[in-house]
Amino acid sequence: MERVVITGIGSVSALGHDSNTMFQNLLSGVSGVGPISHFDTEGHDTKIAAEVKDLPVEKYFDVKSLKKFDRFSQFAWIAAEEAMKQSGLQLEQLDLHRAGVLIGSGIGGIMTLEATMEQYRLRGTKGVSPFFISNLISNEAGGNVAIRYGFKGMNFGIVSACSTGTHCIGESFKAIRYKEQDIMIAGGTEASITPLTVAGFSNMKAMSRNNQNPKNASRPFDRDRDGFVIGEGSGVLVMESLTHAKKRGANILAEVIGYGATCDAHHITAIAPGGEGMARAIQLALSQAGTGLDSVDYINAHGTSTPIGDKYETECIKSVFKEHAYRLSVSSTKSMIGHLLGAAGGVESVVCVKSLLEQCVHPTMNLDNPDEGCDLDYVAKEARQKKVTVVLKNSMGFGGHNAALLFRAFS
């Protein structure tokens, strides 16, 4: 089996159009949440989101080619560009048949869907673009990135709701570990701040309605949390076998050492009591990595700011790590960039790598009064410099989909 390393990272989020800007804003406790500007929120109970602002799409796409990219595909393309540039990969020196792409989206091109439905209502079939289907389907983000770089290895779309990005990275890890691929571009992307999506999540009581104080609305583990804040963006890793990376003299950022995937088989939206399924995913990742409980220094939590989710995730961490749970640092990226749905695991994996590189853990913001039972060290409100060697990333998705990744500082 091969060791799997990370040689490039890239992201787009409400806190910046690249990974360095995003991470520095996270360390500073900056919130990307504000009033929704993508559409008129009149009549909506939820009027806030973490939007990507001022994205310079003209740097990457001409006017004609933009017609072929829904916003979620644009995000993936831009994040992949950053990651590939950092990796230093030279396409002419690669076996492109052993280079793949696995970038998933939980919802896909819903912006295209809603806009096209309106045009169809107004103009009939003449209002439907020939690019409608290719912009709509969620695998097209990965397909477009593969075309960009000529990667001819494995490429398909994973859709597992809020675990999508984490699953994509985990399955890419397996493909390299078992020598099926040498290189993978992996992660998640999402652009679902639309009238239907916001109404749907809000009507199921999953989203915050704290419209008066948007920057304080996402408050994981706090007793006054009232649901998640939707975000958008993309997070992508370039992963390679250690053999391949060493052969070309790559700058190695970190290592992926474990992955676990399980299902609750409990409820279509609710997490299993105590986070039982997530606990099993963590245990699988730890077993695969061959590392002890006390080796984990930091957990980048799923931490959505939902009443049941945060409670059960805390119980899950305690059930796995026992007394070590109280020595761990735990924080929620979603407290500042919102919940990016299928992109969450990708962006948060970028954060995990940055935490290893910077030896610093970002805070959980808006944690004023920890809820009963939420008694771990959530790095409340201020970033913390600390030795970080092994990081755990948790993800849980509607449908009972759980995924866990373990990252380690490379040595």
Active-site annotation, residues: 162, 302, 339
DSSP assignments along 256-298, one per residue: EEEEEEEE--S-SSSPPGGGHHHHHHHHHHHHHHT--GGG--E
Q: How far apart are CA 139 and CA 108, in angstroms?
A: 8
Burial class of residue 247, CB neighbours in 10 A (0-12, 13-18, 19+) = exposed
Write down how long the chain is.
411
Q: Which two three-digit tokens encode residue 9?
A: 């990272």
Q: DSSP secondary-structure letter at 55?
A: -
Residues 6+ apart with CB under 8 A from 133: none
Output the furthest CA–CA distance in the chain (Å, rounded): 64
What whole-number distance in Å separates Cα of residue 312 and Cα of residue 273? 6
Task: Return d(Cα 321, Cα 333) in angstroms, integer.
Answer: 21
Structure tokens at 279: 């606990």
CA 255 from centre of chain: 18
| Per-residue tokens: 213 | 């104080």
| Structure tokens that stand for 316 in this block | 């899950």
Q: Confirm if 338 and 32 have CB atoms less than 8 A apart.
A: yes
Strands 34-35 and 329-331: unpaired
Backbone angles phi, psi at 55, to 5 degrees: -70, 125
Provide the 8-state DSSP code for 56.
-
Closest CA to 7 of 186, 272, 145: 186
DSSP 195-227: HHHHHHHHHTT-B---TT-GGGT--TTBTT---
Nearest to 42 by CA among 191, 199, 197: 199
